[in-house]
Amino acid sequence: MSMNSHVEVRGLNVVAGGTSIVADVGFSIPRGGVLALIGESGSGKTTIAMALMGYARLGCRIAGGTVRVGDKDVLSLDEDGLAALRGDRVSYIAQSAAASFNPSRRIMDQVVEPAVNHGRMDRKAAEAKAVALFRSLALPDPDSIGERYPHQLSGGQLQRLMAAMALITGPELVILDEPTTALDVTTQIEVLRAFKQAVREQGATAVYVSHDLAVVAQMADAIVVLNKGRVRENGAAVQVLQQPQDEYTRTLMAAARPERVAVEGPGAVRAPLLEIKGLNAGYGATPILRDINLTIARGATLGVIGESGSGKSTLARVIAGMLPPSSGSVSFDGVRLPPALSMRNKEQCRRIQLVFQNADTALNPAHSVGDIIGRPLAFYHGLKGAAAVRRVAELLDLIKLPASLAGRACGGLSGGQKQRINLARALAAKPDLIMCDEVTSALDTVVGAAILDLLAELKRELGLAYLFISHDIATVRAIADDIMVLYAGTQVETGRRQGYDAVARHPYTDLLIGSVPELRPGWLEEQGARPVPPAIRQPKDGADLCRFLPRCSWRVSGTCDQFTPPRRPTPGGNTILCHRPEGASEGAS
């Protein structure tokens, strides 16, 4: 091993059955360095990351090569040696936190477990370090969040808690497998900063698996580009990002800088397919959504954007009938829908389908692809036998997957393939409206762009309408006709996609747009610490203040902290819930 290398991989080969899925992969990382593994879904990124811990997924086998971390020859360790290594000296932050936490145990018990089990510290010290990590990872209520259960937290919060679990032992190698996939852009900045700081402070080496080149540009010192299990390019991050040598790398870079054409809305003015008026909803006594009003025309796309916890998924659950609203109405094709799913008829259920965010928990890993897609075919259309087999093949072709996958168990598929199966299951019902909840967040850049193209194609050919939920405003602008911005359950801005190009926007929309990482190293450092907003005065009695007020750098003392914000138009044609005067400069307080 090179004297300057802390981690070194040479000639790594991983096989599945008789097929080589990782072939002759090699790279080295100096101590404290960050190496990114990038490539499309199925390129071998996660397989290589797992091999760094001496692990191969079910049905796979490490067939050759060497993996060294410090003075440890990982592939020569026995089971006891590997158990001592994993979760202690080498930590892994998985892509899907929701599938990684035990739902029956409190968060704190799970986060401190690696440190206590490996004898790094006692329970009291571990809990103190956990709280410090919660705070550095920008988690809410860091002193008490550990007492909650996984189902009480959002996907983005669970992802950050998983990072805390990985960092608590002070590992020398941290493997980050798409760790910001589930995070909204504003939280992503803070988490990326925390990761960079942790690597720097602990002197840890890091391997960062990602399909998001803009994130990689902020994190990596070096990049390895993978395609079909082979290394296509390996070099310094600046060189790979700015002067890629390999044709495949150039293809990835082109996909990351798309000049996408927005999908056109319907030409004729018709009654809306979906209409929501005065919607309020929550869980128990906890209000989430407040006074939501929206319409979606037939064949149109409404993008809904906001941070984790803003109420995006709650809105989809209400529309789907999974959560009855506390007040307000949801009408579909001119008919008011019953509030609960159990009260809706089969046709009402068929016409509105929901594609869930987390494919790992939405699909039964033991069921075959054909069985999963076949269930809605049988339930809604009575298709069985040969007719169902043909339709499953058609749907797989529609989502750009081979028909041969029909017999495969979902547990053996990549994250990108699972999410496309999610979409095929919804399409099997032949719906009029599909609600897409973060459907591209777990996909690599190329596959994500292909899914957006597919959604646009289905919209044109089938007349489908979409409610497209995302924390990525660039993705929403690429596909949506209209965009609604949610903050803490409040509709703070609504309008045509083009209206978001204007300067005058809601301050929260400005924050979202300004938080999207740029595809160049150094962007993260340039952001610096965000300015602390001025102190808030005591509100006027009975005033229903803006929920964004504590974070807003545009707020006006004596107005924003005293009075309910008005809903008013912007010069760009949007409607915002804000006191902000037209032409105001930032920091007017």
- Taking only the tens of pLDDT, the chain with its 589 residues reads 455 789 999 999 999 877 899 999 999 999 989 999 998 777 889 899 999 999 998 788 999 999 999 999 999 999 999 999 998 999 998 876 777 899 999 999 999 999 999 999 999 999 999 999 898 887 889 999 999 999 888 777 888 888 889 889 989 999 998 887 666 677 777 777 777 777 777 778 999 998 778 888 888 999 999 998 999 999 999 999 989 999 999 888 877 654 433 333 444 445 689 999 999 999 888 889 999 999 999 999 999 999 888 999 899 999 999 999 999 999 999 999 999 999 999 999 999 999 987 777 889 988 999 999 999 999 999 999 999 999 999 899 888 788 889 999 998 888 778 888 998 999 999 999 999 988 877 666 777 777 788 888 878 777 899 999 998 888 898 899 999 999 999 999 999 988 888 777 899 998 888 888 888 888 888 877 666 566 655 556 556 889 999 888 888 888 888 899 999 888 888 999 998 766 454 444 4
Give the separation between CA 128 and CA 101, rounded to whole angstroms: 20
pLDDT at 99: 75
Residues 248 and 371 both lie in one domain? no
For residue 263, being part of any structural domain is answered with no
Give the separation between CA 164 and CA 179, rounded to whole angstroms: 12
What's the whole-model pTM score? Answer: 0.69
pLDDT at 585: 44
Give the separation between CA 73 and CA 458, rounded to whole angstroms: 50
Handedness of CA 250, 256, 257, 260 (dihedral sign): positive
Residue 221 makes CB contacts below 8 A (sequence gap 6+) with 33, 34, 35, 236, 237
For 69-77, the CB contacts below 8 A with 24+ separation are 69/6, 69/7, 69/172, 69/173, 70/6, 70/172, 75/51
pLDDT at 262: 35
The CATH number that applies at residue 296 is 3.40.50.300
Q: What is the bridge-based pairing of β-strands 327-332 and 335-336?
A: antiparallel
Residues 156 and 108 both lie in one domain? yes
Residues 351 and 487 both lie in one domain? yes
Give the separation between CA 330 and CA 544, rounded to whole angstroms: 25
For residue 358, being part of any structural domain is answered with yes
Residue 566 makes CB contacts below 8 A (sequence gap 6+) with 577, 578, 579
pLDDT at 540: 61
Residues 237 and 307 both lie in one domain? no
Residues 68 and 139 both lie in one domain? yes
For residue 552, being part of any structural domain is answered with no
In 3D, which of 546, 524, 515 has the Cα closest to residue 533? 546
In 3D, which of 518, 477, 493 has the Cα closest to residue 574? 493
Residues 354 and 320: beta-carbon distance below 8 Å = yes
List 329's β-bridge partners, or say none.
277
SS3 447: helix
Residues 226 and 314 both lie in one domain? no
pLDDT at 50: 93
Residues 284 and 245 both lie in one domain? no
Domain range spanning residue 206? 5-256
pLDDT at 270: 58
State how far the alpha carbon of 197 is from the alpha carbons of 90, 92, 122, 159, 369, in Å: 18, 17, 25, 17, 42
Q: What is the bridge-based pairing of β-strands 490-496 and 482-487?
A: antiparallel
State how far the alpha carbon of 420 is from the alpha carbons of 67, 208, 405, in Å: 33, 24, 12
Give the separation between CA 464 and CA 462, rounded to whole angstroms: 5
Give the separation between CA 487 and CA 250, rounded to whole angstroms: 37
Domains: count for the chain: 2
Last residue of a domain, one of 469, 501, 533: 501
For residue 527, being part of any structural domain is answered with no
